[in-house]
Amino acid sequence: MSPGTRSDADWMHAAIALALRGRALSSPNPSVGCILVRQGRVVGRGWTAMGGRPHAEAMALTAAGEAARGATAFVTLEPCAHDSQRGPACADLLVAAGVARVVIGTLDPDPRTNGEGAARLASAGIAVETGIAEPAARASLAGFITRQTLGRPFVTLKLATSLDGRIALADGSSQWITGAQARAHTHVERAHHDAILVGGGTYRADAPRLDVRLAGLEIRSPRRVLLSRMGDAPAGWTALASPGDIGSLDGVDWLMVEGGTEVAAAFLAADSVDRLLLYRAPVLIGSGKAALGDIGLDRLADAHGRWRLTDTRLLGNDRMESYQRIR
């Protein structure tokens, strides 16, 4: 494909890929991606830095320098319109840099910006388009959007099972059902989450292992949260009494629930799972520990229409599947 033939959606997907670099590092801000393109060539790239500043647009504009003049900016989230003690509004930076056109993945649900950033760009004579590759842009911002709209993190429930849905033998042994590649994938997923939540049984069995064990990514181990009716947290952990309390986890937009059976069922019963991350090994276990306890399902018909497959791949002998809650 020659450079000039890429569509706006192609560039937006490239910006979304950049945004992933800052995921679960950019708190308290969402991780945004920005690409500046002039005459079909990339002149600047940016993503939200660790800690939330600089913003993606500022980083891309700094990289482009004078080349930003007349360029098109592809940005996954509407540029902010509010000045902050931590830096100027991105809409103003784009105007000052002389950008000719801004293509936006999705508008900012933050009431301080919602539509205001796009309006400020337009009033400065910049061509503005919104809603480009919007489902993918929103998926990349799901933690932030869920926090803004539901007041809680986006919740991924991870399960690793046999073909017959078991997570362990009857004696509790579960090392290993899935292979090395699937387990490495789980560690990348952990690095993309702000916090990881488990119940008491998993805490007692696996606490030392609930980190990112990929060379170079150890510092991206998420915060650790224990679901415990007692509410008492071990050192280095946060305790919550129920799934309904996850909104109180400051700075946590992406939460991964990793076990065990009753915790997973409690989140599902509360309809607080937004994504299922399943790893399935080509083994049969038979009698053993089931993946889920009671999720409050009374009629089979109610189980349908809730989950849509959004990604699947083979990892060694195992299959990964990602399902999104249909809301």
Binding site for a copy of itself (CB under 8 A): 159, 161-166, 169, 173-177, 265, 268-269, 276, 278, 281-288, 290-297, 299-300, 303-304, 306-309, 323
Q: Which H or E run includes 320?
A: strand 318-325
Give the Cα separation of 260 and 308 in Å (integer): 23
Residues with Cβ within 8 Å of residue 156, at least 6 apart in sequence: 189, 193, 254, 255, 256, 257, 273, 274, 275, 276, 277
Q: By C-beta, is 38 or 319 nearer to a copy of itself?
A: 319
**Cβ proximity of 281 and 160 under 8 Å:** yes
Candidates 265, 253, 193; CA nearest to 223 is 193
Least distance to a copy of itself from the beta carbon of 88, Å? 46
Longest C-alpha distance within the chain, in Å? 68
Examine the residue annotation and report whether 57 is marked as an active-site residue of this protein.
yes
Q: By C-beta, is 237 or 307 nearer to a copy of itself?
A: 307
Least distance to a copy of itself from the beta carbon of 143, Å? 22
Least distance to a copy of itself from the beta carbon of 79, Å? 37
Helices 90-97 and 116-123: angle between axes, nearest 10 degrees: 20
Q: Which of 57, 78, 116, 189 is catalytic?
A: 57
Q: By C-beta, is 77 or 291 nearer to a copy of itself?
A: 291
Least distance to a copy of itself from the beta carbon of 282, Å? 5
Q: By C-beta, is 63 or 295 nearer to a copy of itself?
A: 295
Q: Which residues are catalytic?
A: 57
